[in-house]
Structure 1
Amino acid sequence: MSVQQKQKSIFDLHESAKELLGLEGILEISTKSPESLGVSLSAFNLTYQPENSDKRYPLESLFQSAKVFTDGGPYRDILSKPAREAKSDPRLTTSGRLVAFSSRDTTWPLVPRTAFYDWLYLNVLGHYPRLAEPLSMFGGFTDIEFNPKKSINCQAYSAALFVALSERKLMAKAMKSKAAFLETLNEFSASETTVETQGSYSLFDS
């Protein structure tokens, strides 16, 4: 599907969210977003630069390089690959069942299901105030590339979670450590405040 067709689908999705859910000011977060902010917030474009390093790594590559399988991983060399190449590395589909994530000598379980991806996204986003600060102006977020049949992690959800935690003054507490993040997620029940429609998320209502 061409970029133009994707953006037509984005427009239709936003119109449906507006009509059915009353959401206004929705931001598409993906490489197909018609807004430059949404493109910059894509996991393919957000990058992280470790301290004392001149290298920058795509968020997507960080995520894929942290996967641990029954028969291999984590494959740290994936970290240096471009985002699309990292996501399509054949070892990610030939190393058995996914069992955990490993990052900074810390192991993350698969449950809560999106916890590691959300933590990673929020961690990287925190290094970009110019991208993070405008998010509070939006009423919801979409990711046209998200397919719930193939994936459980969604950058639109992560962005909505960032806004929800920020508005509740919970970001600083949540990002202190893995334990703090999981505890905060447990206290802040996203299931009670989430409206979801095929890749559209809003976590702002209390």
Structure 2
Amino acid sequence: MKAEQLAPIGAALARLLSPHAEVVLHDTRTDEIAAIWNPLSGREPGEPALLGELAELAETDADVYGPYPKTLADGRRLSSVSAVVRDEAGDPAYVFCVNVDRTAFEEASRLLAAFAAPAAGQPRVLFEHDWSETLNELVAEFVRERGTPVDRLAKPDRLELLGRLDAAGVLSQRRSVPAVARALRISRSALYQLLGEARKEQHADPA
């Protein structure tokens, strides 16, 4: 097997992982780099392969190694895997190494971790009078409790939910009726009717 026969594999891997990885084909017989794609390390074909483990490769049946860590001269950290390509006699002929630069992935991980961090809470000065936020929270909490979508709530459930919204002061806010009707997926007239019943039940409650 010649290096030219393996070149399409190296080119395909490099194209798939570009620009985050270099792919290196080492010739074990010459201990040189036979080919390299997207050379993050700055190496070139013909340079020493520096595969000190070649003697060990000949004594083991393992053909894939890694991932294992490596570091570039500029401090970037890599995750690397190596695959041994054996000849017809079963001896190592070439070694493919794929070295992935972890920088972009580590930065993405830090960014996602920052987004996932617990929120500091809503500033009281901004949200203490935001009745629409209260409306959304109460409706969402009620739906979770019942395990039923808001548009499938039975009449007794709607009455109870309206009672909670009324007690929280949502329905006393200016222009709240259209928003509450939308949240409950009912018409304004239906809302007024249900609200009247809810308030009647509340006043009738001896508690």
> Which protein, 1 or 2, shows the higher relative CO under an 8 Å CA cutoff with sep ≥ 6?
1
Question: What TM-score does the superposition give when structure 1 sets the normalisation length?
Answer: 0.27
TM-score (norm 2): 0.27
Q: Which structure dedicates a bigger proportion of its chain to strand?
A: 2
